[in-house]
């Protein structure tokens, strides 16, 4: 099963439309998308505008692949549960967000080798065609490492002093 999520802040029809088109071309009937406040009517995938946090987690857990925007909640949940995720960031230049922070987020995670990034619809469909060669992701721990906690603590304490 493939789970698509666009978060709750707004529609991301470019992503949903690309997955819907790919599903039709490949006769895939195992795709569910959480679409946010979108008016796009899919032809080949099952959709729901909003799902609660519990259902979101269950859908990620039961999926073979997650496709999403470059939102931290989607990325971290997929990694925490050891799921491969393909991310297509929202683009401010296309009116999908207020700035290009999702592009920066996607690039940072991709440089670490933790996610697959598609910057446009064609790249997304190409990566979906390679789905069988993608390995599962390494699970991200549910708790922060002591080193990370100490680094954050030092940063906060330095900020308060200075």
Q: For residue range 39-67, what is the model confidence (pLDDT) as tens digits?
A: 899 999 999 999 999 999 999 999 999 99
The CATH number of domain 2-161, selected from 3.40.50.2000, 3.40.640.10, 1.10.40.50, 3.40.50.920: 3.40.50.2000
Smallest CA-to-CA distance from 2 within 120, 108, 134 is with 134
Distances, alpha carbon 5 to alpha carbons 8, 57, 143, 162, in Å:
9, 11, 24, 41
Smallest CA-to-CA distance from 32 within 47, 10, 14 is with 47
This prediction has a pTM of 0.80
Per-residue pLDDT at 44: 98
Domain residue extents for the chain:
2-161
State the residue for tokens 């603590």.
Answer: 153
């Amino acid at each position: 099963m493939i789970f698509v999520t666009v978060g709750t802040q707004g529609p991301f029809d470019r992503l949903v439309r690309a997955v819907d088109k790919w599903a039709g071309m490949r006769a895939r009937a195992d795709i569910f998308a959480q679409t946010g406040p979108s008016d796009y009517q899919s032809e080949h995938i099952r959709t729901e505008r909003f799902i609660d946090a519990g259902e979101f987690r269950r859908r990620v857990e039961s999926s073979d692949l997650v496709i999403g925007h470059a939102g931290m909640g989607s990325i971290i949940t997929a990694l925490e549960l050891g799921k491969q995720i393909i991310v297509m960031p929202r683009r401010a230049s296309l009116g999908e967000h207020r700035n290009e922070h999702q592009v920066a987020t996607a690039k940072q995670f991709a440089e670490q080798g933790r996610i697959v990034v598609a910057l446009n619809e064609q790249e997304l469909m190409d990566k979906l065609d390679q789905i069988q060669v993608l390995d599962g992701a390494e699970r991200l721990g549910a708790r922060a490492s002591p080193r990370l906690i100490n680094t954050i603590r030092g940063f906060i304490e330095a900020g308060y002093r200075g």
